[in-house]
Amino acid sequence: MKAAGARVLGYGLVLLLLALWEAASVTRLLDPFYFPPVHEVARSLFASLRDGRLARAVLTSLGRGFVGFAGAAVLGVGLGAIAGRHRFVRALIDPLLELLRPLPSPAIIPVAILLLGIDSSMKIFIIGWACFFPILLNTIDGVRSVPPALVETARNFGLRYPESLFTVVLPAALPVIFTGLRIALAVMLILTVATEMVAGSNGIGFLLLEAERTFRIADMYGFIAALALVGYALNHLFLLVDRRVLAWHHAMHKDPAA
């Protein structure tokens, strides 16, 4: 009950901040050119929703975002499962990983533009690149943490390597893999917007920057609000899948006092 109450208060805090913004803008305490009143931002948000601009942009952005994310998930989980099981593979890829992992993903945007141009393939590549590392590293950790006795039992029962990988190792590592996927999902949204801002002619990132450059400041804030809602919805959707797929894990670790 206490947590639920705090949550309601939390939403109240968001509303309070919006009300303060509205009041400060209307009374010109804040410059309304840079901080248009909330009702104007809301009006412009609904206008872009009505004429379909926003939906098209969001769908375009999420489309390329998910292709990059899915590619990273397949490669990251695949390579992570192999590297997690074999010390030799881990040792082989470790120096490369240690060099590439700290590299900020936007740093490779110029290279990607040079090699792939400025269309969707470049953006998908950058998104995939950025999502790949958290998925790979968490998969390696997850697979390494699988109790050896579990794998040995599967071997003893005559399960072959791929069968044991898919029925024992990956399901056992799934809670840690999901942590990587959740981090990657947030990274996906960041890089989707960033790449569309750097080079593009569509997508929510492009709309946002275009609004700023043409001084449609209320539109700009409207797109930012839309992005925040998309991020919120994505995270909640992911948690929904997580609660369903990993129901056993959450029940197993449920604090009886909670």
Partner 1 sequence: MTGPANAILDVRGVGMMFDGAGGRPSVLEDISFEIGPRDVVGLVGESGCGKTTLLRIMAGLLRPTRGEVSLAGVPIVRPEPQVCLVFQHYAATLLPWRRAIDNVMFGLSARGAERQQLRQSALALLERMGLAADAQRYPWELSGGMQQRVALARALIRRPRVLLLDEPFSAVDERTRAGIQELLLTLHREETCSIVLVTHDLDEVVHLSRRVVVLAGRPARVQQIIDGPAGVSRESLRSHLSIVRGRS
Complex with partner 1: residue 169 or 227, whichever CB lies closer: 169
Reported for 53-59, long-range contacts at CB under 8 A and 24+ positions apart, including other chains, are 53/207, 54/204, 54/207, 54/222, 54/223, 54/226, 56/202, 57/202, 57/203, 57/204, 57/206, 57/207, 57/223, 58/204, 58/226, 58/230
Question: Binders of partner 1: how many residues, by CB under 8 A?
Answer: 19
Does position 31 interact with partner 1 (CB under 8 A)? The reply is no
What six digits make up the tokens of 88?
Answer: 């030799």
**Residues in 43-62 at the binding interface with partner 1, rule: CB under 8 A:** none
CB of 151 to partner 1, least distance (A): 9
Instruction: Pick one of 79, 172, 191, 207: the residue that binds partner 1 (CB under 8 A).
Output: 172
CB of 251 to partner 1, least distance (A): 7
CB of 254 to partner 1, least distance (A): 10
Using CB under 8 A as the criterion, what x/- string covers residues 225-254 for binding partner 1? -----------------------xx-xx--
**Stretch of 94-102, 103-111, 166-174, 217-225 lying at the interface with partner 1 (CB under 8 A):** 166-174
Residue 202 half-sphere exposure toward CB, CA atoms < 13 A? 14
Complex with partner 1: residue 232 or 248, whichever CB lies closer: 248
Q: In the structure, how many helices (H) and strands (E) does the chain have?
A: 12, 0
- Cα separation of 100 and 112, whole Å? 15
- Cα separation of 246 and 218, whole Å? 41
Using CB under 8 A as the criterion, what x/- string covers residues 123-162 for binding partner 1? ------------------------x-xx-xxxxxxxx---
Q: Which residues contact 45 (CB under 8 A, 6 or more apart)?
A: 54, 222, 223, 225, 226
* Binding residues vs partner 1 (CB under 8 A): 147, 149-150, 152-159, 167-168, 171-172, 248-249, 251-252
